[in-house]
Chains A and B, each alone.
Chain A
Amino acid sequence: MQKYILARIGQGIFTLWALTVIVFLSVHLTGDPAIHLVPIEFATPEGLEIQRKKLGLDKPLIEQYGIFLKNVLQGDFGESITDGRPARDILASRLPATLQLAAAGMGLAILFGVPLGILSAVKRDSIFDRFAKIFAVFGMAAPQFWVAIILILLFSAVWKVLPAFGRGGPDSFILPSFVLAWSIMAGIMRLGRSSMLEILDSEYIKFARVKGLKEQFVLWKHALRNSLIPLLTFSGISLASVLNGAIVVEVVFAWPGIGRMLLDGVQQRNFPVVQAAVLASGFFYVSISLVIDILYAYIDPRIRFNQ
């Protein structure tokens, strides 16, 4: 297992490093970097010259990358070109909102998705299974931004039971996390169902019945435990979807998180802000994937106990 974990950590570090390279190159290969990095008030020709020297843009590329990397590792992402605030501060103020939203969404998806998927398999082809399938199928086909808008229309404007936007009390979490969760839930349900069906068909389940174990016991102990493994892997994969979805959901619900920060930055061509958001997202994404993979190695004895 040690080897597996070390390999995974290495992979994560490589991905993060590649990310920094991509971000760095994007700025420096698409026109004058100074324009991207300098606050607007300094963007006069003389001001730009001064900033160029200050940012070391006359140094060789490799050296610039080194400085860039050093800054990033220290948390210095430059200053927003719209208001001069350090991108890091903006990041710090926005990060909690997104983390909470992502956790809520992912939590909801797993909490409901896993049991629903497994139940679908156990009660195969029942009414329950049919409804679950329809729910999942729509979750995967309907665009999140549209679902969000329709739900806001219904719950906030028409029925007036939930807030339409902004982050506030617990009820402001309900719609955004549901929208975020729905499409992921769909994937989880599908996977839960198919892996459960596969497991229920397996030889060890048959043997468990042959031994004389009670059906309930067979399901709870043997089937469930084995189905958790692919679900865990899938959760790791769907992290990317969570991030994707978070951006859209934040926009529609005016949620003050990194996603919106990223979008605003992109629209304003505010590169330091974009840079901060991208690197932060990448970092969290890689770390959480890593944690999930390590958890997975722990749970699956085939990996845990491999010489």
Chain B
Amino acid sequence: MKKIIYLVLLLGFLSSTAQNKEVFFEKSYTQLNQMLEQPKDYSFKKAVFSVEDAYLDGNLDTVFINNQIKVLHNLSLSLIKERFLYYPEKDKETVNKWASVFEVMCDTIPMNLNNKNYDYIPFGYDFNDVFGHRQWSDMFVSKLLITRKGNCHSLPYLYKILSEELGVEANLALAPNHIYIKHKSQKDGWYNTELTSGIFPIDAWLMASGYVHIDAITNGVYMKALDNNESIALVLLDLAQAYQNKFAENDGTFILKCCEAAIKAYPNFANALILKAETRKTQIEKEKNTQLATLQLRELEKQYAHIHQIGYRNMPESMYLNWLLTLKTERNKYENKKLDTFNTR
């Protein structure tokens, strides 16, 4: 009897072709669209992990993930309860929650468990695979929770998830090849939280990469505090990229579908516009009817012109790390000195 079960399982495993694996992507796509249509269904945590689960063929260890998030959530709660935050304005409760998430992400916290002293070690930056070239799952929050090292994708995502667990918002914001956090408090107005280095930078730092055209800021391509729908647009693009990484030889249909949904939720989302254009380009290259291809190419040129016109400029990946490090090397120039509240170190 046992043998038969093994056999069935084995057959089942062998037959799980690409087609079956795509089901997880479709499932995630449906779920993300549902969140866009029904605000009550919105959950950034669920959105992010649906994409990671799809990439891992439905094998994401949700028990481990949920446990980890629960532990971090409890740690934030105890920080809020036990440590003192000097902040004089009415929105202290909210600011205190943000501060606790920041500490969980970036600070070493002394703890006492069963009369033994421990040091909680914060999350770190993983310099090995910044863009997920080695392995796409290096971008994942689940990878961050397992290895405790992440990048400008997984770190702000986890920050947002933990904030929402505490019932407060955290706005994601974009810069070239980069994601960071924006908050608005009564005391300091809008301010930035940079999780890759645990520093609060002023806007001048984000503008200093040399690849931020002012039109891109004016049009909300970069440095805009993204709302929930725009954040889901980011996740939709993650889904498209995960799909692209997994099924390199796909026909582009699924990717275009994701891009369209993302652009609908966030019209000036440069990365979605670019992936859409590039996917179209690949499709056009395969087009056998040359007359049709010429027409389509003309349409494509318009798309690229639009991307340029809203202010997007391509930042070479090699420039990214140089820029990221300027926040540490030129900390005095770029650190927000108004935020004495959290700069406890």
Q: Do A and B bind each other?
A: no
